[in-house]
Amino acid sequence: MTTMSGDGDKPVWILQGDFGRATVNFISRPLVAHAHSQYQFLFKLGGSDCDFRIGPHECTLTAEQALCLNPWVEHAKGSTDDQPSLILSLVIETPWLRAQLKLREHGPAHIFPEALVVVTPDVRHHVDRLAAAITNHMVAQDEGCMPILEDLVTTLGRDFADPELTQSILPSSRPVDFRIRKALDFIKQTSLSNPTVAEVAAQVGLSRSRFFEQFRRCMGVSPQHYIDWVRMSHAIQLLGTSDRPLADIASELGFEEHSHFTRFFAQHMGVPPGDFRRRSLKLTPRED
């Protein structure tokens, strides 16, 4: 089940199921030290870096570094002043993760030897896919997110788990065609000019229909959804790091009219950009 709710006045997207919970949300407030029976994975999508305490160790969640927490590892989050972080959080039930990674049912729980890991290109690829699928209102069927989640968790196991425990883990079931990797680079480089799907397809030497088919097979979402997600990432960054007028931001993102940008942003984030900036990017940390 996918829902959109609110943590105070901040947008929150939640995907729930037998696997556990996947959440994309904005957070700036500190979180008290806590632990739980599930595995947890945290990825920064945008906004400020986040300071965490994992057991006795201090570490920082950044775009390049993620957190992989085994069950019952105590952790706490520091505040990020008035600049919240956009985070993808996975809270994964132990039986589901063990089945996904093809591990023995009652084997060791300490699967991930390092809490702070460097995000690999494959992991970032699947994180972006999942975040786009969860937050995009056009993804109507929840089961469409599940193959992406499965790919991400499988890749986390392959890249970060103890190799002595996970020798049987196979590569992701969605290999990425080199032309699609080229398309992803092109989209990121030209997102401010709002490339069309046809333009991207031509750049990588595929017909529009063939490109759409290959892109969806590799990414799990349509090319347009991915383009929209990259552009939204730019919008979030600009709104969160500057006080520039919304009209200027709209122009930089390639929108001819301010109203077009407002409609686009609201359709993807659930709130207009002005409300987003006022409500989500100027929060006062809670004083304990």
CATH number of the domain that residue 230 is part of: 1.10.10.60
Angle at 45 between CA 19 and CA 121, to 5 degrees: 80
The domain of 62 spans 2-160
What CATH number is associated with residue 88? Answer: 2.60.120.10
Query: Measured between alpha carbons, how far is 251 from 17 in angstroms, rounded to an integer?
Result: 40
pTM of the model: 0.65
> Which one-letter amino acid corresponds to residue 226?
Y
Q: Per residue of the chain (288 residues), give pLDDT as tens.
A: 444 444 444 567 777 788 988 888 887 778 878 888 889 999 999 888 999 999 889 999 999 999 999 988 888 888 766 678 889 999 999 999 999 998 877 778 889 999 999 999 999 999 988 988 887 743 444 457 888 999 999 999 999 998 887 665 545 445 668 898 899 899 989 988 889 999 999 999 999 999 999 888 877 668 887 888 788 778 877 876 778 899 999 998 888 888 888 888 876 655 678 876 765 433 233 343
144 and 256 part of one domain? no
Query: Measured between alpha carbons, how far is 186 from 15 in angstroms, rounded to an integer?
Result: 30
54 and 139 part of one domain? yes
204 and 148 part of one domain? no
Residue 236 three-state SS: helix
114 and 237 part of one domain? no
Cβ–Cβ contacts within 10 Å for residue 114, how many?
Answer: 11
Cβ–Cβ contacts within 10 Å for residue 277, how many?
Answer: 18
Query: Measured between alpha carbons, how far is 275 from 246 in angstroms, rounded to an integer?
Result: 11
Are 16 and 93 contacting, i.e. CB atoms less than 8 angstroms apart? no
53 and 105 part of one domain? yes
219 and 116 part of one domain? no
Query: Measured between alpha carbons, how far is 288 from 273 in angstroms, rounded to an integer?
Result: 30
Cβ–Cβ contacts within 10 Å for residue 77, how many?
Answer: 21
Minimal CA–CA distance to 97: which of 25, 37, 171?
37
Boundary-marking domain end, from 133, 160, 187: 160
- Is 166 within the bounds of a domain? no
Boundary-marking domain end, from 125, 160, 195: 160
111 and 190 part of one domain? no
Cα 224 from chain centroid (whole Å): 17
